Structure 1
Amino acid sequence: MRIAISAIGKLKDAEERAIVERYAKRMNGAGKSLGLGPLDIREYPESRAADVAERKREEATRLLKDVGFGDLAVALEPTGASLTSEAFAAFLRDTRDGGAKSCVFLIGGPDGHGEAALRAAKLKLSLGPLTLPHGLARVVLTEQLYRAATILSGHPYHRA
């Protein structure tokens, strides 16, 4: 199952980008034998609309272009479900085993997700109760994808 992260906004910080790339590379290596990956990361510019509702609508449209037939969408959302790393790994395994072609993680812009993106999401996922900058959220998500692959493969990286 292909895994994608579709995000509004570009990572401008070289250090954050390097960490995301490092965990993406690790995820691709660890996930290959599990049928997870490759991990594809797409960035879209923020909407310039003056109205918040219109910005969210435009950004949701951009993100949803990456969700095709047979794909499962996951919206990162502060009020979403908080999963343990083990539960997140089980979610990925079950999604793969359920026949999803791809699992697409949606990261909205500064105003949050538009209604269309939230409706399309099978799961609304929270990375925790703290507010994270979008770049750091990508770092955490990418690391957790790698961690999930190591949990599923029995690799010692994850020591709970």
Structure 2
Amino acid sequence: MRVHLCAVGRLRAGPERDLVQDYVTRFDRTGRALRLGPFAEHEVEDKRGGGMEAEAELLARAVPNGALICVMDERGKVLSSPEFADQLARWRAGGRQDVAFVIGGADGIAPVLRDRADFALSFGRMVWPHMLVRVMLAEQLYRAASILSGAPYHRV
């Protein structure tokens, strides 16, 4: 199952980019044997200033056809790392070829796209900077692959 990150904004060079790249490399390496990955990043920018609706349109175009859509939203479901790993495994076992994790802009994700989502995931009720959400998602994808492979990375 291919994993896509569809996000508003560009993650520039720096510590966040380095962390994302490190975890993505680990995820791709660990997930390969589990039929998880590869990971692809799709960044969009609303250069015309159309707000959430324009961002939602750009994000929707970035999501591969037929992909399961998982929006990152503070109103979404909060999962433990093992529960997240199980969710990925269920999507994969259900025959999903692609899953797209969607991160909106500063104002969040427009209701029209949020309503289309198959799943909403939250890293808690706090609002996180978009750069950190990417890092946290990349790390949790790697942790999920590690859990599913039986590797000792995850400690309960």
Report the TM range for the smaller structure's normalisation: over 0.9
Q: TM-score with structure 1 length normalisation? A: 0.93
Cα separation, 2, equivalents of 1:125 and 1:47: 27
Question: How do residues 49-64 of structure 1 correspond to structure 2 at under 5 angstroms?
Answer: 49=49, 54-64=50-60
Give the distance between the partners of 1:116 and 1:99, measured in 2 at CA.
Answer: 26
Q: Is the 8 A contact 1:66 1:104 kept in 2?
A: no
Displacement of 1:46 after TM fit?
Answer: 3.8
Aligned residues: 156
Cα offset for 1:47? 4.9
Identity %: 40
RMSD: 1.2
Q: Note if 1:132 corresponds to 2:113.
A: no
Partner of 2:105: 109
Deviations 1:73-104 (A, max 9, x none): 00000111100001100110000110111000
Instruction: Tell me the secondary structure at the aligned position of residue 33 of structure 1.
Output: helix
Structure 1 unaligned segments of length 5 or more: list them: none
Q: Which moved more, 1:63-72 or 1:36-45?
A: 63-72
Distance in 1 (alpha carbons) for counterparts of 2:34 and 2:59: 26
Residue equivalent to 1:150:
146
Unaligned runs of 5+ in 2: none
Q: Which runs of 4+ in 1 moved over 3 A?
A: none
Shift of 1:132: 1.1
* TM-score where L is the length of structure 2: 0.95
**Residue aligning to 1:36:** 36
Which residue number in structure 2 is paired with residue 86 of structure 1?
82
